[in-house]
Amino acid sequence: MVPVLELRGLSKRYPGHTAVDGISLSIPRGAFYSLLGPSGCGKTTTLRLIAGLEAPDSGEIYLNGESISHLRPYERNVNTVFQNYALFPHLTVEGNIGFGLRHKRSDDIGRRVRETLQLVQLEGKENRYPSELSGGERQRAALARSLVLEPAVLLLDEPLAALDQKLRKQMRAELKSLQRRVDITFLFVTHDQEEALSLSDCIAVMNQGRIEQIGAPQEVYLRPRTRFVAGFLGAVNWINGAGVRPETTHISRVIPEGDVRVCPATVESSVFLGNCFHVEARLATGIPVIAEVPRHDDTYESGESVHVWWRTSDELTFEHESE
């Protein structure tokens, strides 16, 4: 099947630095696809290139198999949810949602606006101005404004970043269920690995304008191809060249058996985090290590001599070493 969106060798250079450095990826229809990376890694620029808000220096963008690289933003069947939402302050919610339909001269604008309002649960708020909406409502209005046009791909630029912690988690769930219901391909840009892991069917991890790894959430988390990916997706203990995640790092008073590696260590601190303890220990070689110890396990005191161990199968290995 033809991917709904495909990038081939896309590059964008600015004076002094290369924002996007020859990236290629293809997004299957109906996917929830994430571009994950630290700020300044080029993920937002990639999104803007796809939207047509920036022109690439080289490379091609294909939408449903046809090149759209030469098209103006208003000629592309993709829509963007901006980070600050960019709702038009002089238009009501209804005016904002109907904006695109009016410019595309669609029929039945009223009905489609009403349906979309219902979809994002903003009924009754249609006559409000953006300044009269809460953060979550604004976010939903911005989503509705783009969704109503039924784009081939919806581009979302950190749409949850402006919300507070609690609301962010709630909107995350809503976003996921919304995507399933409307059956539109989402290309989601974020720097929050938890967000990317929990929402996506597929994640492309970006660093310094390049894609480091593409894969399903489990794959990039459990089998990162580079140290960067390993470190960016979660905490890692680096012990003698091997990477071990804190949740697979164990502590015990006796030496465990089986296919494991063991290092003697001293407990430095133990912090209760509700569902588990974070135990910080220092190996005899001086390397600091963090282990996630389940609540019902033994408790450890600082200064105590223990064994830090892990299964060799839990070690992260890197075929493509980037460092």
Partner 1 sequence: MKRLLALYAVIAYAFLHLPLLILTVFSFNASRFTVWEGFSLDWYAAAVRDPQLVEAAFNSLVIAVVATVISTVIGTLCAYGLWKRGSRWFSGTLYLSLVTPEIVMGISLLAFYQWLFRFFGARLGMHTVIGAHVAFSIAFVVVVVIARLRTFDATLEEAAMDLGATEWQAFRSVTLPALAPAVGASALLAFTLSFDDYVITSLVAGVDSETLPMVIYAMARRGANPVVNAVSAFIVLGLTVLILAAEKLRET
Contact residues: partner 1, CB under 8 A: 51-53, 72-74, 79-80, 82, 84, 86-90, 99-100, 103-104, 145-146, 149
The minimum distance between CB 153 and partner 1, in angstroms, equals 12
Nearer to partner 1, 90 or 181 (CB): 90
The minimum distance between CB 149 and partner 1, in angstroms, equals 7
Nearer to partner 1, 71 or 222 (CB): 71
The minimum distance between CB 322 and partner 1, in angstroms, equals 33
The minimum distance between CB 187 and partner 1, in angstroms, equals 13
Nearer to partner 1, 90 or 111 (CB): 90
HEC string for 243-270: EECHHHCEEECCCCCCCEEEEEEEEEEE
The minimum distance between CB 253 and partner 1, in angstroms, equals 58
CB 243 within 8 A of CB 287: no
HEC string for 8-32: EEEEEEECCEEEEEEEEEEECCCCE
Nearer to partner 1, 149 or 204 (CB): 149
Nearer to partner 1, 48 or 225 (CB): 48
Nearer to partner 1, 52 or 224 (CB): 52
The alpha-helical segments, DSSP class H, found in 62-189 are: 93-103, 109-119, 135-147, 165-182
Q: What is the C-alpha to C-alpha distance for residues 215 and 109, in angstroms, rounded to an integer?
A: 39
Q: What is the C-alpha to C-alpha distance for residues 59 and 56, in angstroms, rounded to an integer?
A: 7
- Residue among 154, 144, 149 nearest 91 (CA): 144
CB 93 within 8 A of CB 134: no
Q: What are the C-alpha distances in Å from 7 to residues 3, 47, 50, 187, 233?
A: 10, 11, 9, 12, 24
The minimum distance between CB 159 and partner 1, in angstroms, equals 13
